[in-house]
Amino acid sequence: MDGVMKRFSGRNVLITGAATGIGRATACRFAREGADVAACDIKEKEVHETAAMVKELGQKSLALVCDLSKMDALQKMLDAAVGEFGQFHIVFNNAGIGDTNAFYEDIDSALWDWIYAINVKAPFFICQRLAKIMIDNRVKGRIINTASTEGKTNRAGSIVYASSKSALIGLTQALAIQFAPFDITVNAVCPGLIDTPIWHRGDKVMEMPEGSVIKMVTESSIDARILKIPRVGVPEDIANAVVFLASDDASYMTGQAINVCGGIEFH
């Protein structure tokens, strides 16, 4: 990004779910704008690839392989992240898991706990630890969580996923209140239909070529005029909103859940 002001120079960003999709696109965007990036994910090969991309863009990077559903692994990941970077100015809690194939009768306690551990509990405990360091160091921190339009209006009928994303929006508001006195903002982005590997599990289940499910859902959403801008979203659409929320331009915004969804959701 030659010639573009590097507005995140000197800032450290921790991104979870950084192996692919929205997380990887955002890691590269932050790096292009001068930030150093700690990239965390359960997918070892892909998260190392993301870290290598950040390095290639001229920024410091660290790959952190971690299963965020496990509290001891999460705390060890944070030990390593803080050990290497000292402090984080920006935290992007983006890792998420869906339950698109779990029907009402199939939902058991283990599935419920697993999805909530990744989608809600991990963002809280990451914030608890990293915000303390922001406060101690008087950093004007930025925390951004990836929720979903499904967390506002449940269109697909998913139970665990949609309710966990509603909970994440609630957590965003609670933490915004908690950290506002310390100049730390907490916001969420709510993607609609974004073409990322999260949809590929559905392709496998339906034994269809990769990309089929998102294509089907996008086309039917356009036909039904649910999706107003008639194209599927790309990870960079979300990265655009995340860097805005992380920037000084968003310093008077907190507790918000911003839709980036081609008009699927209006509230």
Given the rule CB under 6 A, which residues bind ligand NAD? 17, 19-23, 41-43, 66-69, 94-97, 118, 146, 148, 191, 193-194, 196-198
Output the CA angle 155-92-200, nearest 5 degrees.
45
**161 flagged as catalytic:** yes
Min dist CB 29 to ligand NAD, Å, is 13
Is residue 188 within 8 Å of residue 257, measured between CB atoms?
A: yes
3-state secondary structure the chain: CCCCCCCCCCCEEEEECCCCHHHHHHHHHHHHCCCEEEEEECCHHHHHHHHHHHHHCCCCEEEEECCCCCHHHHHHHHHHHHHHHCCCCEEEECCCCCCCCCCHHHCCHHHHHHHHHHHHHHHHHHHHHHHHHHHHCCCCCEEEEECCHHHCCCCCCCCHHHHHHHHHHHHHHHHHHHHHHHCCEEEEEEECCECCHHHHHHHHHCCCCCCHHHHHHHHHHHHCCCCCCCCCECHHHHHHHHHHHHCHHHCCCCCCEEEECCCCCCC
Half-sphere exposure for 140 (CA within 13 Å, toward CB): 12
Min dist CB 132 to ligand NAD, Å, is 22
Min dist CB 262 to ligand NAD, Å, is 11
Neighbours of 6 (CB within 10 A): 15
Please name the residue that has the structure tokens 């690839």: 49
Q: Which is nearer to ligand NAD, 22 or 184 (CB)?
A: 22
Min dist CB 183 to ligand NAD, Å, is 26
Min dist CB 2 to ligand NAD, Å, is 27
Farthest-apart Cα atoms in the chain, separation = 56
Residue number with the smallest Cβ distance to ligand NAD = 96
Q: Which is nearer to ligand NAD, 68 or 131 (CB)?
A: 68
Q: Which is nearer to ligand NAD, 196 or 254 (CB)?
A: 196
Query: 104, 116, 161, 252: which one is catalytic?
Result: 161
Q: Which is nearer to ligand NAD, 34 or 191 (CB)?
A: 191
Min dist CB 96 to ligand NAD, Å, is 2
Residues with a known catalytic role = 161
